[in-house]
Amino acid sequence: MKKFLINIWAYDYHAKFEVLAEDNALSIEKSILDKLGEKSIKWESTGMYRDIPKRITYEEVINDARPIQYKEVLGVRVATGAPEGR
């Protein structure tokens, strides 16, 4: 099981929370639905509803104290994630 940070934007609201799931879409989806069913999620108004797409994002939470690596892509400095070799 891994810890994932979930971000949901829907209509005029945003929610951000963590779930434990296996590293596959079905398990993450089930964990999100379980969390929504608990009704423990705090929804915040974004104040920006106009034509904004509804979306859900997720990322694995890594408790790693090492600094994030960066690289330059098309002249823009972007984070590439925590170094491997945990």
Selected residue with higher pLDDT from 33 and 49: 33
- The model's pTM is 0.57
Give pLDDT, residue 86. Answer: 45
DSSP one-letter string for 28-72: HHHHHHHHHHHT-PPPEE-S--TTPPPEEEEEE-----SPPEEEE
Residue 24 has pLDDT above 50, yes or no: yes
Please state the rounded mean pLDDT for residues 24-36.
90
Selected residue with higher pLDDT from 17 and 51: 17
Listed range (20-24, 65-69, 80-84) with the worst mean pLDDT? 80-84
